Amino acid sequence: MPFLAYGLKFMSNKERAKAAIIIQDSAGSGKSRTTNQEILKNNTLLASIKMPSDLFVPNAIVSTSIYIFEVGVPHDFDRGVKFIDFRNDGYKRTKRGIKTISSPANRYHDLLLLLKSGQAAVNNSKFHNELWDLKKQYVEDVIDNTGTDWNFENHYKVNTTPEEEDWDKAIRNYMKFKLGKILD
């Protein structure tokens, strides 16, 4: 994170400059918290993109995120940040090379639409809705001033409330089980 802070100091915001860095997810913990707080005093975190853990295979398997900033504009902690889970980018990487699994070009195209338009991207005729489950892959949320909550996992809330069809299925299975016990 000090490397990022150092680089951001030398950028100007004459034309609403943007900066991006791909960095290990754990970079926001420990001593880096202070650096992150300093970064936010002069720069706005616009987006955090969770990348596939096999991105650097065969050299490493590591959890990374891309952070995108608007340079020279102090972060407004009431403003939402786009958090995107892009672990499924359509590729599978192995020691033997990279393999196309599921429409990577379309997924990367859609990622750009999400960055530009947020949730409204799904209404764009060029967005591939069938490749995304945005309820699980896109969150717009605020961050706090601790500098520790820049990753997707900090903002995605798992819905533990069962849907009505889940409830109905559970009751049916329970009734089958009970009836089976009675009829035996």
pTM: 0.82
Q: DSSP string spanning 126-141?
A: TS-GGG--HHHHEEEE
Mind listing the pLDDT tens digit for each residue in 82-138?
Answer: 999 999 999 999 888 899 999 999 999 999 999 999 989 988 999 999 999 998 999
Domain range summary for the chain, segments of one domain joined by +: 2-183
Q: What is the pLDDT of residue 91?
A: 94
Mind listing the pLDDT tens digit for each residue in 141-177?
Answer: 999 999 889 999 989 887 777 788 888 888 898 888 8
What is each CA distance from 74 to 19, 91, 96, 149, 153, in whole angstroms? Answer: 14, 36, 44, 17, 24
Mean pLDDT of the chain, nearest integer: 90
User: 177: burial class by Cβ within 10 Å (0-12, 13-18, 19+)?
Assistant: exposed
Mind listing the pLDDT tens digit for each residue in 21-68?
Answer: 999 987 766 778 899 999 999 999 999 999 999 998 888 888 999 999
